[in-house]
Each structure stands twice: as structure tokens, then as C-alpha cells.
Structure 1
Amino acid sequence: MKQRLPQAGTVIFGEIHGTNEIPAFFSACVREFLDRGETVKVFLELDAADTEHTAKYLRGEIDEAALLSSPRWRVHDGRTSLAMLELHRALKGVPVVGFVPGRGVADSNAAMGENFLRHRLENGYNLVLVGGTHAQLAAGKGDSFTSVPFGQYVQARSNNVLSLNARYTGGEAWACAPYCDANPLDGNEPDGATPAKRIGFEDKDRRFNGYFSVGRVTASPPAVEK
């Protein structure tokens, strides 16, 4: 990624919500940037209104029980899993921004994009973890969007943007479709690919610049029971 973005830029990681492996991979990438002395800001797919509450936890001003008292942790859609809680633990001391608008917004992707652009680093690295559909830079075959995806919106308004799609060989993810539980996932690694914890750019998928591969995924249940 440094070769592609030698000085600064934005890397969008398009994920499948509700796995253990994707938040862990993202966390490791954040840590590598920090360990190399880079200036980093993290953007998570959480409510913008909850950013300050989350920041208090990351600054050590409130404990984990107080963090989990926010209503957002009671929405069991994979973004509030135990793995995501572990990611929060790993991000202590790192600036983290939520960029999801409140309800009633006509174009949520545009609103997400504007929230991101308002808070992004101009000189540093913005590392974004967001659902794979939001992360797209273009529509794919069969896609039908009412608005451009978050990734495409951001790329049109800023320089040095990379978007990476999550690859996995199958497994399970915690999702609410149609009911909340560990649901099976078919793999999306191309035939003959060698899955590994790596990032690649030799992908012909026009929706993304490349991919990150995490192997087989396992479901991460909610951090807070209803």
C-alpha cells in the first residue's frame, strides 16, 4: 500500500460484517502503519453521533462497560460483534471517527462520504473499514444502486484513494438474514488462488483496486446481548 500511496492517502477495506478474521486483519494493518511511524486516522462504519462516546473510551476516559452502554451495540448486524469490540480495544489511543449518518437521510452514501471528507487527514493515512457494497468504486455486473457507493463518492472528491475487497475461502459470518445467527458463506477466492493473509492488486474486478485475503472466516457473535 505504501508503494501505491507513498506519502498519504485513503485505504478503504470493504468487509463482510460479522466475522472474526476481517476486523483482526484491519487491526493488524492499522498497527503496521503506526509501528512504521505513519500518521493515521481510522474510520469505522458506526454512527457519527457516537464518535465522541467512542473517543472517550479510546482516550481511557470511560471503561468498556460504559462504551457498550451506547444503543448502537444493541443493533446486531455484525458491526457490533465481539471481534469489533476487540478492534476497539486494539485502537486505544488512535483517533477513530464514525461516519454513518442518522436515520432519514435521503442519500446515505453521500452523507457518509461528506462525513468522511469533513474529518479525513490531508497529510496522513485514512484507514476505513466499511461494508463491501459501500466500498465499491464503480457498479459491478448486475448492481443496481439508487446512489453512487461511498467509495466512488470519496474517490471523485479526493486524491489517492484505494479500495480493497475482502476475499475468503468460505465459512460463516454473524448476520441478520433473515434471522440473527451464524450464517454460512460461500468463498469468493478465485479458483486456484492461494489464500493467505495478504493484499494484492492484480485483480480485474473494476469495483475495487485490489483485495485483501483472510482465508476461511468464522462468525463473531454480538458483543452485547439484547
Structure 2
Amino acid sequence: MMRKAVMMLGLGVALAAWTPGQTRSAPDATSCQLPPGWDQVAARGARIVVFGEVHGTRESPAFVGSLACALAAKGERILVAVEHFSLVDGDYQKAWDLPDTAFVPALTKSGWAGREDGVASEAMLAMLVQLHSLSQAGRKIDIVAFSGVKDKAQARKLANLPSLQGQHDASQAENIREAAARHPYDHVLVLAGNIHARKQPVTYSSPAYEPMAMRLGRSVPLLTLNMKVAGGTTWTCELRANGNNAEDSECAAHSVGADADLKRKPFVALGALPGEQPDPDYDGVYWLGPVTASPPAVPVQNLKRKP
């Protein structure tokens, strides 16, 4: 009961800070522009594009949200798939049909409070608020929460896979595939951790398993793009010095190294960044430049303050 009370307090604090005025500040779809290099992706004809990110930046959700906005402005029907629990997707769909002023409270009541791994960030919420506002204005934009086993039937179906992680990624692939088949979407934009976005087996764990994008790519044409940055910070949960278990982890803004220093605005490219070799795990990259950490949108408030 104490944990539930703490989580609800955190939810109340976050919603009190998120005013209807912020929702109405979402950009008009006509102000969005396609990123440089998108024509390369479009020319490949892949309906599904997976953006593999390091969770917890402001820039990655903003990039995908702006892309969805620009595609919708062209008249395309877009599905944005987010790595939130599939168990609450029904709640997300109900929230999507609500007016702007009711959207945030309805959306964040399920699976947001206390999630500090960078997935349920302020930037993620801002992206969904913007896309919801555009949808309410008549743009053809839908969302789906795809992560994890959605019900007992799916759990039984995937139980023969050799690892829990393999089952998890397989459920992600199946959930995205089913959501993408519900309507004639022009593009499905998937924002997921970059391990899930790989197109080859993950072999550094035991047993090895097939990541989401690899499994999904067997049944539908897709492209995967790996996030590249010029350094900065990201909100992640990492082990403290000398820590050896989850209780020793710290969820906070942590430094992330630079992949390159291109001095360029965000873009996408098939293959690799200039001067690099292509990574066989991905079809290309999306460049964000410097990144900044985005904290949880609905944090748990710690009532037990240390002296």
C-alpha cells in the first residue's frame, strides 16, 4: 500500500506540472520537415522503420515524433510503436480517443509511475502529446504499446523459445506485426532500444536469441536505423561503482560517448556515418548530434529522505 501511495503521489506531481497549455503547444503538422536522407529510406520501400535508440534522451523521441508529423502532413497514415508495456495498450487506445485536456492523465495512469529506465521519459510523453494533438486535428496518426507478452495465449505460444529475453523480443515482433496489419499504414515507425533493433542474433547472452527486428523482418519488409550521437547525457539506470546487482544501480543522467563529431543537424543515412564501416546489425543510422538526458515523466517521489 505504501508503494502504491508513493507512485500515486509521483503521478499527481507530474500531472500538476503538465498543463493543458503544454498540450496545445504541439506544432502544426505543416511546420514539420522530413530529415535529410529520408529519401534514401523511402526509396527502399520498407513500410516499417525501426529506430534503435539508447533510452532516455530528449532528442530521439523528438526526432521520431517530428518525422511522424512530417509524413502525416503529406497525407500518409502513420503508426508510431513505442516500447511500453503491451498489457496497457488497451488503456493507451482509449486515451488516444480523448480530447487534449484529458489525454495526459488517462495515458500516464498505466505503466508510467516510477519507471526510470528512460522509456517513460518527459521526452517520450512530449512526443505522444504532440502526436495526439495532431491526431485530434485530423492527421492520420495512431500509436501502439508493443513491449512484452500481452496475454496468456501469447505466453503459451512463445514458451518453447530458449530464453526469457527471446520470448520477450518475439512478443515485441508479434505485437508490432499485428498492430501494423490493422490498417493500411503507409509507414510504421518503431522506437525501441537498439538491441531490439538488431537484424542478427544476440550472441553475447546465453543462450543466444533473436532480437525483435530480426524476427519481424522475416514477415514484413523493414529497415533498422541505429542512433548515433556527438556525446552528451542520457537518463539510464547503471550500476554504481563496486555494485553487483539491481539494488546497486543508480537511475540518473549519465554521460554517453561521442560516435562522431559531424557538426551537422539530425539526418538519416543508409549504411554508415562518413568514415565508418557499415554495421551488419543495422541498415543505417540516424544522427542526432549532442544529446541531453530526459528524466522520468512520472517519477516516484522518495518520502523517506535521508538526513
**TM-score normalised by structure 2 residue count:** 0.67
Deviation at 1:158, TM superposition (A): 1.5
**Percent identity of paired positions between Structure 1 and Structure 2:** 27
Q: Is the 8 A contact 1:43 1:129 kept in 2?
A: yes
Q: How does 1:125-164 map to 2 (within 5 A)?
A: 125-139=187-201, 143-144=204-205, 146-159=208-221, 161-164=222-225
3-state SS of paired residue (2:265): coil
Q: 2:235 aligns with which of 135, 150, 174?
A: 174
Q: For residue 243 of structure 2, what is the aligned residue in structure 1?
A: none
CA distance in 1, matches of 2:143, 2:185: 16
CA distance in 1, matches of 2:58, 2:227: 13
Change (3 A) 1:72 1:223: closer
Summarize deviations over 1:2-22 as a string: whole Å, max 9, x none. 554456610000011100011
Q: For residue 215 of structure 1, what is the aligned residue in structure 2?
A: 289
Q: For residue 165 of structure 1, what is the aligned residue in structure 2?
A: 226
Q: Is the 8 A contact 2:115 2:298 kept in 1?
A: no
Change (3 A) 1:172 1:3: closer
CA distance in 1, matches of 2:130, 2:59: 14
Question: Greater Rg, structure 1 or structure 2?
Answer: 2
CA distance in 2, matches of 1:200, 1:114: 27
Higher helix share: 2
- Partner AA of 2:176 in structure 1: F
Q: For residue 60 of structure 1, what is the aligned residue in structure 2?
A: 98
CA distance in 2, matches of 1:214, 1:125: 21
Change (3 A) 1:198 1:22: same
Cα RMSD after superposing both structures: 2.2
Q: How does 1:1-226 map to 2 (within 5 A)?
A: 1-6=38-43, 9-60=47-98, 62-92=102-132, 93=135, 94-102=141-149, 106=164, 107-121=167-181, 123-139=185-201, 143-144=204-205, 146-159=208-221, 161-177=222-238, 178-189=249-260, 193-203=262-272, 204-226=278-300
3-state SS of paired residue (2:173): helix
Deviation at 1:196, TM superposition (A): 2.4
- Gap runs ≥5 in structure 1: none
How many residues are treated as equivalent by the alignment?
222
- Gap runs ≥5 in structure 2: 1-37, 136-140, 239-248, 273-277, 301-307
Q: Is the 8 A contact 1:21 1:217 kept in 2?
A: yes
3-state SS of paired residue (2:124): helix
CA distance in 2, matches of 1:73, 1:155: 33
Summarize deviations over 1:23-82 as a string: whole Å, max 9, x none. 111111111110111121111101112112122222225432232222333211101111
CA distance in 2, matches of 1:70, 1:91: 19
**TM-score normalised by structure 1 residue count:** 0.89
